[in-house]
Amino acid sequence: MNPNEQKLNYPFGDDLPQPGQALPVADGVRWIRMPLPFALDHINLWLLRDEIDGREGWTIVDCGVSRDEVKALWEQVFENALDGLPVLRVIVTHMHPDHVGLAHWLCERWNAPMCMTMTDFAVARLWSRPAVNGVNAGGPNGQSAVDHFTRHGLSDPEAQDKIRQRSNYYPTLVPDVPSRFNRLMDGDRIQIGGREWRIIIGYGHAPEHASLYCDTLQVLISGDMVLPRISTNVSVFDFEPDANPLPLYLNSLRAYDGLPEDTLVLPSHGRPFRGLHERIAQQLAHHAERLDEVMTACVQPMSTTDIVPIMFRRKLDLHQLTFAMGEALAHLHALYFDGKLTRSTGDDGVIRFVRK
């Protein structure tokens, strides 16, 4: 446990839900975990006891990726953790594959509606289309991503080829998305099991990320906006090459300022914890330090690829490298759009940033 983690409180200690089982974390709230095929090897999903139009059952929050083994684990959850009741609806916090991947299957399986923000619904629908001739429908892989990362200094032919071959990465994990949905908007108040849950929209990590807060329970389902152990990825990718997501993310954290200090945070990765405002302060300090590092490095012209080993001092696999480059560029863009850096494209076609 790192020093920052020691400042948080983990009320369930090292207890984790067993595969196909659920662990109660609050009245009417149960925690399940599903595997992921990445270095970040799990996602937390949530079951909320519910009643809609006099029909008792459960609301699911987030879905896992589309894999047969994940479907099999869900079937065990249905058998072991629903008390013989049906799923009434599916809420998706955002459009990343580990959150929306099995939404279509779950909604069909239970004839249940999906609730999601408009932007993330539209992006998920678009990106779930298979690539044609190696060109994807907008997801951060394939030739467009190769061109993007090459402009930012990635010259390794092997890495370029691996990114090019991942043009179907998103639809492999999200093969379909429901054609209809119920829209979530900031400030919406949803009745779930007789309790009010408020929707809090955040930006920077995903187009329009929805978290859910219940004041009665003092429980926040934070999705990926607040995580206890790792920092939320904030990246610039090829589909929005001039994006400036870091200020969007940092400003979005202010939406949690009014929540109680002892709020139980249910994150998508890691363990449930208390210490929300401490963790947000840690994240603000973390990004301030990274911005200072980048600013210091840019005393001479630096590409995004040059910045990656300064920000990430560990060996990265390809999946991690693409996110690391995206995040390094997000920090460069934050400084550039704040007027602290200039950028130019060299004769080699690589974009570099330097202090004014």
Q: Over the stretch 159-213, which tens digit does the pLDDT of each residue have?
A: 999 888 888 889 999 999 999 999 999 999 999 999 999 999 999 999 999 999 9
- Structure-token pair, residue 187: 């400030």
Query: Which pLDDT belongs to residue 123?
Result: 96
Kindly indicate the confidence band of residue 139, based on its pLDDT and cuts at 50, 70 and 90: low
Task: List the one residue out of 218, 227, 223 whose CA is nearest residue 260.
Answer: 218
- Which CATH code fits 3-131+167-289? 3.60.15.10
Predicted TM-score of the model (pTM): 0.96
Q: What is the pLDDT of residues 284-296, one digit of tens each?
A: 999 999 999 999 9
HSE toward the beta carbon, residue 54, CA cutoff 13 A: 0
* Tokens 């399940």 -> residue: 32
CA distance 43 to 257: 25
Task: List the one residue out of 218, 226, 232 whose CA is nearest residue 253.
Answer: 226
The structural domains of the chain, with segments of one domain joined by +, span: 3-131+167-289
- Is residue 137 scored above 60 in pLDDT? no
- Is residue 74 scored above 70 in pLDDT? yes
CA distance 323 to 310: 14
CA distance 97 to 288: 29
Angle value at C-alpha 252, between 236 and 316, nearest 5 degrees: 35
- Is residue 109 scored above 80 in pLDDT? yes
Q: How far apart are the first and last CA of the chain?
A: 39
Q: Edge-to-edge strand order for the sheet containing 273-274?
A: 189-192, 195-202, 209-214, 219-223, 264-267, 273-274
